[in-house]
Amino acid sequence: MTKSILTKKILHWYDNNKRSLPWRKKFSQVKREYYTLVSEFMLQQTQVATVIPYFNNFIKDIPNVSSLAKINENKLLKYWEGLGYYSRVKNLKKTAQVIVKDFNKNLPSNFLELKSLPGVGDYTASAISAIAFNKPFIPLDGNVERVLKRYLYLKKENQITKENLHKEKKIFGLASRSADYAQALMELGALICKPNNPNCNLCPISANCISFKKKDFVLKKIKKKNKEKYYLLKVFKKNQKYLVVKNTQFNFLKDFDIFPMQEIIKPKNFHKDLNIKLSNMNMNIKIEYNNLAKTVITTNWIDPKNLHNYTLPTFTKKIVNYLENHK
């Protein structure tokens, strides 16, 4: 199948089967750019169904890049609460501030300028370039990767590296409707070429799919080993409330409220109380209960019965729940 025929088949399928998503509606160019920016940040490591209500609420109260650039951070975090990966929303605000200051409130259309924005890497810059500006980019997200691996039957470890997948994606060709085509490939992976039980009978390109011909749909992944980390977590309690501190020490959850912690390097006889997976870390945590030291001067106390009143990362909430269940 030639690239042009492949492209036409995928676009035809998309035109008849695409989901109605709030950021896909017809808008002015300015709104399209802003909504694409917000949705792409939200969709990083988060499923579409989860994002939709957050996106609708976000753009209703924060309708443009100027309002995003100047919103109070605590208020902003409330709009993100429950989505996790809070560094995304902090970078989103920083990006808005850069756009206002350096780009006259206009999202840059140049790929390298997009990549210079806080929190924007190759994938997000590619997605924005294609969707917001109709430029010939094919963003390689998990959905597109899955379609590509199955279509070409890529099984070996050297075949499924990011570098090689970027080379192999040329098989999809390009389309004048770049915005639609980028989303069509994502949609094909999300709705048809699912991780388990792909709907091959509904797939517009199954006739030339090698995995379909071989009836082998198992996906190979490069195994990533989480880093084992060890922490001593200190608990201070007063009037049934817990002390938390602003995190300026660790790279994860920067500037968020966490329990006082210190990393233990090469621990001996370390007996963990709980284990939490965070990003690419496997966090082994030992809890130490302390009397409140006179040197601790803070008003940052949280009531475990009213966690909804605070802007806390899920990490901190998990620890509070553990402490409350292990009194």
Q: Give me the active site residues, please.
A: 40
**CA distance from start to end of the chain:** 65
Cα separation, 65 vs 144, whole angstroms: 29
Instruction: List alpha helices for the chain, DSSP H.
Output: 3-17, 29-43, 48-61, 65-70, 73-80, 87-102, 111-115, 122-133, 142-152, 162-168, 178-191, 210-214, 314-325
Can you read off the two tokens belonging to residue 277? Answer: 């997976």
Confirm if 51 and 43 have CB atoms less than 8 A apart: yes
Amino acid found at 245: V
Can you read off the two tokens belonging to residue 77? Answer: 């975090």
